[in-house]
Amino acid sequence: MASKPGRCILHPLRARYAMEVAADTVSRKRTRFLFAAWGAFDYAQPAAQRRAALAGNRELMSESDPKRVLVIIPCRNEEGRIGPVVRSVRERLSEADVVVINDDSTDRSAEEALAAGATVLPHTVNLGYGAALETGYKYAMGRRYDIVLQMDGDGQHPADELPRLIQPVSDGRADLVIGSRYLNPDTHFPTSFARRVGQMVFAAAVFLFTRRRFSDPTSGFQALSKRATTFFASGFFPCDYPDADVLLMSHLAGLRMMEIPVRMLPREDGRSMHSGLSCVYYVMKMLLSMFIVLLNFHEWRRIRHDHA
């Protein structure tokens, strides 16, 4: 399938939308920094306002129109990789729309994504992986997509696995489907010892509070229902490393979660966001974030009750 050039939200209305998302995210990050434990809870937005946003979008969850699918791809400096990723998605899921969130890349990632046929949502400053996902969720909620698929822009997540991810959500069996690289007995994914130990620690922490076992709690290869998308777009989503804390938060909020085996590919080049000293920060932040999630159990209980 020939790739048609994509779109970049640069005309006035779309530019205003992108600026509002970026400004809102920056403001919340500053507020969380002041609390020194911003984790998974949105201190900058009043609780009543968050609940009203969720309640106001409940009508979107009951629509019976044909399901519209959006694939969101966070991207920072993935030139040479993001183009093939977008083209593979458009070839595998021709009915889906593809959005690349360009998190202030300093290379030609945005141009490459546009040329491959994606819509590009630009961040004018680097806001982080989680903030890029949240921009995608807000875009999906504002345009009433029924199913959101998320994947990385570095080529680790094969587009051939997207139909496997989407099926449980499309069938109404799950709100959040996590693709695990460790559940497939026919494949072996190379992982460093330190990273695997960290994943096992987070999996154990999630099991302690949910009694649910997840083999790959840091997987960013996921599918979301409209309910999950609305929840994540309503001010609760962490801005940098959304992993095990999001699983805990989703469970407490009553989202139906499922983990399925998928095939993933090793990263061939480029820089991982968990490299160097960021690994230490990541582990400390994640444990603190999970603690903050537990402290706000009453908020998740209200949301769970609202959707009962």
Phi/psi-derived region of residue 172, left when phi > 0, alpha when psi is between -120 and 50, beta in every other case:
left
165 close to 149: Cβ distance less than 8 angstroms: yes
Query: What pLDDT, in 10s, does the model give residues 193-252?
Result: 777 787 888 899 999 999 999 999 999 999 999 999 999 999 889 877 788 999 999 999
Q: What is the pTM of this model?
A: 0.78
- Max mean pLDDT range (33-47, 115-129, 271-285): 115-129
The CATH number linked to 85 is: 3.90.550.10
Q: How many domains does the chain have?
A: 1
35 falls in which pLDDT band (50, 70, 90)? very low
* β-strands 147-150, 222-225 pairing: antiparallel
Domain assignment present for residue 2? The answer is no
Sheet of strand 69-75: strand arrangement: 7-8, 119-123, 97-103, 69-75, 147-150, 222-225, 176-180, 257-261
- Residue 56, domain member (yes or no): yes
* Contact yes or no for 288/37 (Cβ under 8 A): yes
Task: Confirm whether 22 is domain-assigned.
Answer: yes
Specify if 228 maps to a domain. Answer: yes
Structural domain for 263, as ranges: 7-36+43-306
Name which of 19-33, 235-249, 259-273, 276-290 the model is least confident about: 19-33
pLDDT tens, residue by residue, 176-196: 999 999 998 777 777 777 777
Question: Would residue 136 count as lying in a domain?
Answer: yes
What string of DSSP letters covers 93-152?
A: -TTSEEEEEEES-SSSHHHHHHHHT-EEEEESS---HHHHHHHHHHHHHHTT-SEEEE--
The answer to whether position 81 is within a domain reads yes
Q: Residue 58 domain-assigned?
A: yes
Residue 272 in domain:
yes
